Structure 1
Amino acid sequence: MLIDMHVHCNELKDLDHYSGSHLFACVAEDVETSKATIELSRRFHFIKPCVGIHPWNIARSSVEEARSLMEIAVSNNIECLGEVGLDSRFVPETLPRQREVFKIFLDYAREYDLVLNLHTAGTHREVFQMLKTWRVEKAYFHWYTGPEDLIKELIDSGYFIGVNPSWKIQEKHYRIISKTPLSNLLTESDAPYQYKSLSLNPELISDSLDLLARLHNLDREIVEEKIEENFRRLFTR
């Protein structure tokens, strides 16, 4: 199975195409898309739903909505919160409210042993410190481009780093992937998203697996198995 640890399934048109070949961790952006993602997971067995409020949408969301969403998550046995986190790079004006809402997600992640599917633009160290303070054990850093000297701490904490197809044109992400052990990597697409000249989609995960096979001098099939093993390990309760 090919693993897509961070994909916006509610924006994809042909989900049937991936049945039998992929496992998706589908992230949401607000209350509405969280509910839609839960519904998709009932229709498609290969979808692991994540619910949350994207930092970019905090301006039009409230703390009360976040709490209400977490009650929905608990009542539906949701295992993953995402896309959640902090962003000081693109929406610094809402950072105080982002922190308020993220603390709610951290509370629930700790209490219910949930996976956090994280957005951390410009806030990698702050989010890491909050994870440690809240004693959150399961975290995935989506499309990590943070400080390279933080990678060891992420690894030592048992957290995972995403392999996004942006490595094709983003030198820093390529370098980070090269420095991260296979045991702490998961593939993702962040589809559907246009990053500069690159249209991100689940088909590109195959290229990421080929890259990992070259970097680690392993057969492609072995890499696929290890990434799937990482995925299942992250979601083990």
Structure 2
Amino acid sequence: MNLVDSHAHIYSEKFNADRAEAVERSRQEGVSKIYMPNIDHTSIDAMLEAEEKYESVCIPMMGLHPTSVDKDFERELYLVEEWLGKRPFAAVGECGIDLYWDKTFLPQQQEALKVQVALAKKYKLPLVLHTRDSFNETYEIISAAQDGTLKGIFHCFSGTVEEAEKVKELGFLMGIGGVATFKNGGLDKVLPHVQLEDLVLETDCPYLAPAPHRGKRNEPVYLPLVARRVAELMQKPEEEVAEKTTANTLNLFKL
């Protein structure tokens, strides 16, 4: 199977000891590309170094993660815009709203997302959205800004059937990862009611390792486990899941 990991922090320091081996393991399992979302100014060098070392496999995005948004977030966004103007990136991301850890900077997170939405329009790039405990808040901003030109992914989707329908109506895709394999992840109630044309696969490594590796470091080599679970829940052949989600990802990013 030819698979694509649409969201992986392979540049994380958790891979410093064996990054080359992790990339090679994933390639041997059929994962041909790994798309890397940025976090903030501290992750850019490591991300671009991974791109340089694993050319044509590891492909970077540029954005500001919501958990890195604080009262000085404008400085970070200036850097994001500077990089977007300098060279190609696959997407604007990872951006969005996170209300799981801290609600203190919600207004700043909302403003940072709006700025990055504008950057996605300016550079004609897709958005990769982080929506932890914040689906409604994120949806409100994206829906208001959608003029037919916005596209992207609701990364780590773990919502309801109704929320899945809202994502589809926006013209966005849902990123499905290890949560699909969790016993109480909830996606068993959602995936039978959606279409493959609306999905991409991801690991979000080093986080959210799928069963039976839950609690350990995640890596792209585990993506076939996600594909297998999606196939089971949607009652589709694994090869069809791989083929369609890979096509969806490559068509979205075009880089």
TM-score, with length taken from structure 1: 0.89
Shifted more, 147-156 versus 184-193: the winner is 147-156
Name the CA distance, whole Å, in 2 between partners of 1:197 and 1:60.
35
Unmatched runs of 5 consecutive residues or more in structure 1: none
The equivalent residue for 1:207 is 225
1:97 to 100, 103, 108: 108
Q: 1:86–1:102: 8 Å Cα contact kept in structure 2? A: yes
Name the CA distance, whole Å, in 1 between partners of 2:99 and 2:234.
34
Name the CA distance, whole Å, in 1 between partners of 2:192 and 2:52.
36
Instruction: Identify, as 1 or 2, the structure richer in strand.
Output: 1
The equivalent residue for 2:201 is 187
1:198 to 209, 215, 227: 215
Deviation per CA, 1:33-69, whole angstroms, max 9, x where unpaired? 1343133223221122112221111127521321222
- C-alpha displacement at 1:188, in angstroms? 0.8
- C-alpha displacement at 1:233, in angstroms? 1.7
TM-score, with length taken from structure 2: 0.83
Instruction: Identify, as 1 or 2, the structure richer in helix.
Output: 1
1:1-237 matches, within 5 Å, as 1-11=2-12, 12=15, 13-15=18-20, 16-17=23-24, 18-19=26-27, 21-22=30-31, 23-44=33-54, 45-59=56-70, 61-135=72-146, 137-169=150-182, 170-193=184-207, 197-199=214-216, 200-236=218-254
Sequence identity, in percent? 22
Query: Which contiguous aligned blocks of 4+ residues in structure 1 show a shift greater than 4 angstroms?
Result: 194-197
* Aligned partner letter, 1:145: S
Unmatched runs of 5 consecutive residues or more in structure 2: none
Of structures 1 and 2, the one with the larger relative CO (CA 8 A, separation 6+) is 2
Deviation per CA, 1:174-209, whole angstroms, max 9, x where unpaired? 323333211111111111125794333322211121
